[in-house]
Amino acid sequence: MLQSVVAANDSMKSNEEAQAAKKTRELPNLSECHSCHLRVDIANANAKSKLNVLYSEWRIVLLCKKCFSRVESSELCSYCFSTSLSQESFSCRQCNRRVHRHCDSEYQSVVLLSDSSSATEF
């Protein structure tokens, strides 16, 4: 009996920890580049070290100046931020950035939802 109470208590704690970790994981880190993880002191950031916002309809993406430039120049995939080789990626018709084919298939349902909502705007 005591073992089942302890096991239930441990299970409840692990569920609470998992929920807390999940909530934190879904929030964007506003003080680091989402590609190279360069940390920026927001309070003392000068123009050179500020993070740039990469336009996206379905997520918040903050990039340092170097990574932002690499994504805009199609050197990096705009989804996963790894090198985008031309044979395994394509150019998005909407934003002209490079996207890996496997990234597109992984995030396609999210993008389709954002495309359908923006298509209703005139």
Rounded CA separation 89/54 (Å)? 19
Question: Is 51 in contact with 38 (CB distance < 8 Å)?
Answer: no
Mean pLDDT by 10 residues, the chain (122 residues): 51 57 64 91 71 85 93 90 82 83 72 39 29
What pLDDT was estimated at residue 30? 84
Helix spans in the chain (H): 2-26, 65-72, 101-119
Rounded CA separation 45/8 (Å)? 48
Q: Is the pTM for the entire model greater than 0.75?
A: no
Question: Is 67 in contact with 58 (CB distance < 8 Å)?
Answer: no
